[in-house]
A and B are shown apart, each in its own frame.
Chain A
């Protein structure tokens, strides 16, 4: 398996533009997580899905952020409009099951977003 795939790996955009980050989880994994990592705030969980259904989006910073999982093999995280403070590395992770947290999360390589 190729692991969790994220695209693009790097994104540079101007303030106010729409940004869409993409993730393909590991085949057979039922849970998908979106994280944001910055030096100031560390690793933050934004939202996670189980069986394509959003379970907890309490970490989504504001309405400018939205995430979808139309099927088991694809998820997007959209920022509209983007702001400089959104600059961070965004990780997607997947795991076999949701529930007791007994399953390890497999992280993608991340998307480094820079908003100027």
Chain B
């Protein structure tokens, strides 16, 4: 099964609202990355947070990591219609030697 699991599976909000997506994982990790995928396109990297970091910001994105709970959250503030996409977390574990992607959260931002 996938290492990371996103929650919720789907999220629909109005433009201007904040969107929060969560990712839970099972084993210890070295870092966690968030990616976005627009319909019919490849994934695009958004942000990376290392296991010794608790929070990271990039523009309207805020990512938190709680290694004790094995979970991460992605917050998109002041959402825009262009933020409509699927969002995936990917966890990297040194023992596994590779990143594993979750099933993704589909975000719809209504104008």
Contact = CB atoms under 8 A, between A and B. Distances in A.
A42 interface: yes
Interface residues of B, number: 23
A56 interface: yes
A109 B30 contact: no
Interface string B77-88: 000000000001
Contacts, number: 53
Nearest to A42: B103
A4 B30 CA distance: 26
A12 interface: no
Q: Which 6 A-B pairs have the closest CB atoms?
A: A101-B92, A107-B42, A104-B45, A43-B101, A42-B103, A107-B43
Interface string A74-116: 0000000000000000010100000011101111111000000
Interface in B59-101: 88, 90, 92, 94, 97-101
Contacts of B104: 42-43
Interface in A3-41: 4, 35
Interface string A39-57: 0001101001000000110
A90 B31 CA distance: 25
A102 B52 CA distance: 13
Interface of B: 2, 30-31, 33, 41-45, 48, 50, 88, 90, 92, 94, 97-104
**Is the contact region of chain A dominated by helix, strand, or loop, or is it mixed?**
strand
Contacts of A102: 30-31, 48, 50
A42 B2 contact: yes
A107 B101 CA distance: 13
Contacts of A105: 43, 45, 90, 99
Contact of A108 (B42, B50, B88, B101): B42
A101 B30 contact: yes
Given A43-B88, A104-B48, A56 B98 contact: yes
A43 B44 CA distance: 14
Contacts of A101: 30-31, 92, 94, 98-99
B50 to A, nearest CB: 8
